[in-house]
Amino acid sequence: MRLATILTPHGPRAAVATADGYVDLHATDPGLPTCVKNLIAASPGIRKIAAEAAASPHAVKYAANAVKLLPPIPHPSKILCIGLNYRDHAIEGNRPIPPEPVLFGKFPNTLIAHGDPIVLPKVSEKVDYEAELVIVIGKKGRHIPNDKSAFDYVGGYTVGHDVSGRDWQFRGEEKQWIIGKTFDTFAPTGPVLVTADEIPDPHSLQVQLRVNGTTLQNSNTKEFIFGVPHLLWFLSQCITLEPGDLIFTGTPPGVGIARKPPVLLKPGDVCEVEIEKIGVLKNPCVAES
């Protein structure tokens, strides 16, 4: 299923994205969860009922242009991010291949939806773009095995944009990765979450980013240094992963700061992140008022 969170007169609701709009699942069948987090954590039987509800002639549907999209998971308990996870991106920056995942985090203030503006801060002059595949956890887990059984903990995948204030990220001798990554609006996600059953191999997806229609990143998750099972194993050694947690899996080459001359975001730019089988996440850039 292609799931979204939409804002309705009754509040945020889990919805199934169709060719011409969004089906409010709870309004169609009050026995279904109201949020995507609970839906991907539910039993396969509940998800089957949700799929049937979306196809019902009596489904409560909103036209695509009549609803406000929210992030697919509006309130995750954790936003975990992996740096340097594409071989071609590490090579681009003349960096050695890391022996283990490089971890940092974002906070809920960074989350925005498809169509929402990325606000370029007054205090940062080097705001950069990073296209990313995002894993959405579907089942609670600790000490997850580094094998194919790890996929049992994946609820689905969405498109993410890890916006980065480079002048803050690389500030000082000790660097400041988290502060550079956690300005308000610096984590667009969406427009939909595609359930894991529709993406049996997340290690073969084309990932692209365009700014004002010009392709600046174009690679494939085949370039992952650490695949999905390895990331879940690594993280869950220390952190209990819970339904709805977001894991940004790293970005491919072509980031603005590595270009000569650098290409950095400015007011009026429009960013599009496209991932094969999931869709296009589009956000304009505006100056902080």
**Whether residue 258 sits in one domain with residue 123:** yes
3-state secondary structure at position 47: helix
| 130 and 98 part of one domain | yes
- Do residue 47 and residue 98 come from a single domain? no
Same domain, 92 and 219: yes
- 66 and 85 part of one domain: no
Statement to judge: residues 46 and 6 lie in one domain: yes
245 shares a domain with 133 = yes
What's the pLDDT at 280? 98
Residue 37: strand, helix, or coil: helix
Q: Report the number of distinct structural domains present in the chain.
A: 2
Residue 18 contacts residue 6 (beta carbons within 8 Å): no
pLDDT in tens, the chain (289 residues): 999 999 999 999 999 999 989 999 999 999 999 999 999 999 999 999 999 999 999 999 999 999 999 999 999 999 999 999 999 888 877 788 899 999 999 999 999 999 999 999 999 999 999 999 999 999 999 999 999 999 999 999 999 999 999 999 998 877 788 999 999 999 999 999 999 999 999 999 999 999 999 999 999 999 999 999 999 999 999 999 999 999 999 999 999 999 999 999 999 999 999 999 999 999 999 999 9
Pick the last residue of a domain from 14, 37, 70.
70
Instruction: Give the pLDDT of residue 37.
Output: 97
Return the amino acid letter for 116.
Answer: D
Q: Supply the pLDDT for residue 176.
A: 83
DSSP 183-229: STT-EEEEEEEEEGGG-S-TTS-EEEEEETTEEEEEEEGGGBSS-HH
Query: Regarding beta strands 270-275 and 154-161, do their DSSP bridges make them parallel or antiparallel, or are they unpaired?
Result: unpaired
Question: Which residue, of 70, 88, 121, is where some domain finishes?
Answer: 70
Neighbours of 135 (CB within 10 A): 27
d(CA 172, CA 149): 42
Q: Looking at the structure, do residues 41 and 110 belong to the same domain, yes or no?
A: no
Tokens for 230, please give them: 């390895």
Domain around 64: 2-70
Specify the pLDDT at position 278: 98
Q: Is the peptide bond before 261 cis (omega within 30 degrees of 0)?
A: yes
> The domain that contains 137 carries what CATH number?
3.90.850.10
Of 1, 14, 123, 122, nearest to 67 (Cα)? 14
pTM of the predicted model as reported, rounded to 2 decimal places: 0.97
Q: Which two tokens stand for residue 16?
A: 């199934």
User: What token pair was written down for 202?
Assistant: 């997340």
Claim to verify: residue 87 and residue 51 sit in the same structural domain: no
Q: Are residues 225 and 116 in the same domain?
A: yes
Q: Which of these three, 18, 45, 70, is where a domain ends?
A: 70
| 233 and 101 fall within a common domain | yes
Within this chain, do residues 171 and 248 fall inside the same structural domain, yes or no?
yes
